[in-house]
Amino acid sequence: QPVTSIGASERVIKERSAEIIAGGSVFYNPVQEFNRDLSISVLNVFAKRFLKERAQSENVEFDDSTFVAGEKCENGLRILEALSATGLRSIRYAKEIAGVREIIANDLSKAAVASISENVRHNAVENLIVPSQSDAMTLMYLSTSNEKRFDVIDLDPYGCPNRFLDGALQSIANGGLLLVTATDMAVLAGNTPEACYAKYGCVPLRMKCCHEMALRILLHSIETHANRYGKYIEPLLSISADFYVRVFVRIHTGQAKCKYSMSKQSMIFQCTGCETFTLQPLGNVKVSTTDKGKSQTKFGIPTGPSVGTNCEHCGHKHHMGGPIWSNPIHDHGFVKELLQTIEERPLCELGTHRRLQGVLSVVQEELLDVPLYYVLDKLCCVLKLENVPVLKFRSALLHAGYRVSFSHASKNSIKTDAPTSVIWDILRCW
């Protein structure tokens, strides 16, 4: 990281297009460069989609050839970076995203906002960035009228983002993009279930697939917050990286669609002996046709395994956790476009270009209809087997006629639509 000291407590930090004077106690984390590179790439793809949709709905011509990064676009995105610290993220958004009208770089801390203002001047992006000192929640609650709403809201707090969700969901435009980071991984990974339930409304289980579980807990929490305001989420991309999770979700308005939310969440039953898990959706949806040819939708509560029943594989009792988001966590069409856009960019434009390509390539292969995953080492450990090579195990599943993929969240992960009995049978014969 190119860092130059310019005083006892000040340093100039260069990250891609931006130069930041970080002084005193203002927060700067170089490890988050991947997070910022990813967010910029996502927003460049999202901007085109969203602005095209908006132009079509208003019956005006759409021409993205006029979008230039660093230049104000009158019909472009209004972005709120609610917790901005040095303003680095906002400055990179201003300089590297095409199709931006305005970015509000907000922080509660006076020192942080002084730093944002200095950095905005230093990078000559006053045309796009408005520094703001306010409590993020108050700012969002004051921006719920149509003309004040944001097309994009970025929440990147310390720890849990939940107290900002109500405000964000009410101040985001229909179809807008919410970018949320959570760094309280110990809570999300099941170390303190009571804290996770209080914060995220979900009882986590201690599982090997805890990183994807963390993503699904966060998505569950955003969806349930959204439902209170007649809104629902559409996840475009959900990433577990380093010490945090980051989700990119579109927020749509639609009271009727909120009824489907129950069927997108599941409880999890995990065997206390062999750790086999089963998902139990909270609701099911049946669409049928009436005698008069009209389609009718019925919402029901399914039956399934329960805490009291014993595991069919080893006879132990189950632990029960959840609810978690059990619908797809990415939109593969979006990820494909994102990956193409990144591959077309010169390597030097994004510091974490290769890592982005690697992670997104795995994401593109992930089985979307298979929530969570097993970790092969753990399965081998249960059967007291020497470690089985992951590629050979994957081939065995493929030969048996099932689909299989990795998860970007763990390198030894097995996501498969094979029933767990097939997984155990293959391993027992190894």
Residues that bind ligand SAM in the complex, under the rule CB under 6 A? 27, 32, 83-86, 88-89, 106-109, 112, 135-136, 156-158
In the structure encoding, which two tokens stand for residue 358, read together? 């690697």
Helix, strand, coil % in the chain, rounded to nearest 5? 40, 30, 30
Nearer CB in complex with ligand SAM: 25/421 = 25
Burial of 389 (0-12, 13-18, 19+ CB in 10 A): exposed
Nearer CB in complex with ligand SAM: 130/390 = 130
Closest approach, Cβ 129 to ligand SAM, in A, equals 13
Closest approach, Cβ 112 to ligand SAM, in A, equals 5
Nearer CB in complex with ligand SAM: 39/405 = 39
At position 269, the amino acid (one-letter code) is: F
Closest approach, Cβ 430 to ligand SAM, in A, equals 46
- 314: how many CB neighbours lie within 10 A of its CB? 14
- In whole angstroms, what is the distance from residue 397 CA to residue 427 CA? 10
Whose CA is closest to 108, among 127, 91, 89, 132?
Answer: 132
Contact yes or no for 178/251 (Cβ under 8 A): yes
C-alpha distance across the termini of the chain, in Å: 47
Whose CA is closest to 107, among 191, 37, 25?
Answer: 25
Nearer CB in complex with ligand SAM: 183/261 = 183
Closest approach, Cβ 132 to ligand SAM, in A, equals 9
Closest approach, Cβ 122 to ligand SAM, in A, equals 16
Residue nearest to ligand SAM (CB): 83
- In whole angstroms, what is the distance from residue 256 CA to residue 172 CA? 19
Nearer CB in complex with ligand SAM: 34/373 = 34
DSSP 274: T
Nearer CB in complex with ligand SAM: 153/274 = 153
CA R_g for the chain: 23
Closest approach, Cβ 93 to ligand SAM, in A, equals 10
Nearer CB in complex with ligand SAM: 43/423 = 43
Contact yes or no for 127/72 (Cβ under 8 A): yes
Closest approach, Cβ 400 to ligand SAM, in A, equals 45
